[in-house]
Amino acid sequence: MRQQQFLEVLDRDEAERRWREAIVLPDPGVEVVPVEEALGRVLASRIASDVDVPGFDRSNMDGFAVRAADTFGASEEEPVFLTLNDESIPTGVAPRLEVGAGSATSIATGGMLPRGADAVVPVEVTDLCGDGRVEVRRSVVPGGALSFAGTDIGQGESVLFAGTVLTSRETGVLAAIGCSEVPVRRRPRIAIVSTGDEIVQPGEAMRPGLVFDSNGRILADAVRELGGEPHFLGAFRDDEAALREALARGLAEADMVLLSGGTSKGEGDLNALVVSELDPGIVVHGVALKPGKPICLASDGGKPVVILPGFPTSAIFTFHEFVAPVIRQMAGLAGEKRESVTASLAQQTNSERGRIEYLLVGLVERPEGGYSAWPMGKGSGSVTSFSRADGFVRIERNVEIVESGSEVEVTRIGRATAVADLVVIGSHCVGLDVIAAALGREGFQVKVLSVGSQGGLAAARRGECDAAPIHLLDPASGTYNAPFLDAGLTLLRGYTRMQGVVTRPDETRDVEALLADPSLRMVNRNRGAGTRVLIDGLLGERRPPGFPYEPRSHFAVAAAVSQKRADWGVTIETVANGAGLRFRPLQNEHYDFAVPRARAERPAVVALARLLEPGSALRDELAALGFGAPDPA
Domain harbouring 374, CATH code: 2.40.340.10
Helices 430-441 and 603-611, axial angle in degrees (round to 10): 120
Q: Are residues 20 and 169 in the same domain?
A: no
List the beta bridge partners of residue 210: none
Q: Does any domain span residue 322?
A: yes
Residue 379: which domain range? Answer: 340-412
Say which CATH number the domain at 441 has.
3.40.190.290
Q: Does any domain span residue 4?
A: no
Total residue length of the chain: 633
Say which CATH number the domain at 231 has.
3.40.980.10
SS3 content of the chain, % helix, strand, coil (to 5): 25, 30, 45
Q: Are residues 211 and 174 in the same domain?
A: no
* 61: DSSP letter: S
Residue 414, C-beta contacts closer than 8 angstroms, at least 6 positions apart: none
Beta-sheet pairing, 133-136 with 47-48 = unpaired
Q: Are residues 304 and 289 in the same domain?
A: yes
Q: How many CB atoms sit inside 10 A of residue 142's CB? A: 11
Q: Count up the domains in the chain and report the number.
A: 5
* 218: DSSP letter: H
- The predicted pLDDT at position 339 comes to 83
Say which CATH number the domain at 37 has.
3.90.105.10
Q: Are residues 345 and 324 in the same domain?
A: no
Q: What b-and-e string marks burial along 287-311, b requiring 16 or more CB atoms within 10 Å of the CB?
A: bbbbbbbbbbbbbbeebbbbbbbbb
Say which CATH number the domain at 114 has.
2.170.190.11
Q: Report the candidate in 325, 333, 22, 340 with the shortest Cα–Cα distance to residue 165.
A: 333
Distance CA 604, CA 627 (A): 22
Contact 500, 555 (CB under 8 A): no
Q: Does any domain span residue 6?
A: no
Amino acid at 232: F
Contact 260, 195 (CB under 8 A): yes
Distance CA 80, CA 119 (A): 15
Distance CA 590, CA 461 (A): 20
Q: Residue by residue, what is the 3-state secondary structure of 246-294?
A: HHHHHHHHCCEEEEECCCCCECCCCHHHHHCCCCEEEEEECECEECCCC
383 phi and psi, to 5 degrees? -85, -30
Q: What b-and-e string marks burial along 256-276, b requiring 16 or more CB atoms within 10 Å of the CB?
A: bbbbbbbbbbeeebbbbebbe
Distance CA 388, CA 391 (A): 9
Q: Are residues 116 and 71 in the same domain?
A: yes
* 189: DSSP letter: E
Distance CA 270, CA 263 (A): 8
- The predicted pLDDT at position 385 comes to 66
Q: Does any domain span residue 7?
A: no
Distance CA 297, CA 285 (A): 7
Supply the pTM of this predicted model: 0.75
Q: Does any domain span residue 540?
A: yes
Q: Residue by residue, what is the 3-state secondary structure of 108-173?
A: CCCCECCCCCCEEEEHHHEEECCCCEEEECCCCCCCCCEECCCCCECCCCEEECCCCECCHHHHHH
The last residue of a domain, from among 299, 331, 363? 331
Q: Does any domain span residue 385?
A: yes
Q: Are residues 132 and 278 in the same domain?
A: no
The last residue of a domain, from among 358, 377, 412? 412
Q: Are residues 181 and 192 in the same domain?
A: no
∠ CA 531-533-535, rounded to 5°: 70
Residues of the chain with pLDDT under 70: 1-7, 262-269, 377-386, 414-419, 632-633
Q: Does any domain span residue 243?
A: yes
Q: Does any domain span residue 111?
A: yes
Q: Are residues 166 and 313 in the same domain?
A: no
- The predicted pLDDT at position 210 comes to 78
Q: Are residues 395 and 517 in the same domain?
A: no
500 phi and psi, to 5 degrees? -165, 170
**Alpha-helix residue ranges (DSSP H) falling in 23-112:** none
Question: Concatenated DSSP letters for 291-307?
Answer: TTTT-EEEEETTEEEEE
Q: Are residues 193 and 222 in the same domain?
A: yes
Beta-sheet pairing, 80-89 with 103-107 = parallel
Q: Are residues 429 and 541 in the same domain?
A: yes
Q: Report the candidate in 579, 489, 494 with the shortest Cα–Cα distance to residue 530.
A: 494
- The predicted pLDDT at position 6 comes to 45
Q: Are residues 429 and 497 in the same domain?
A: yes
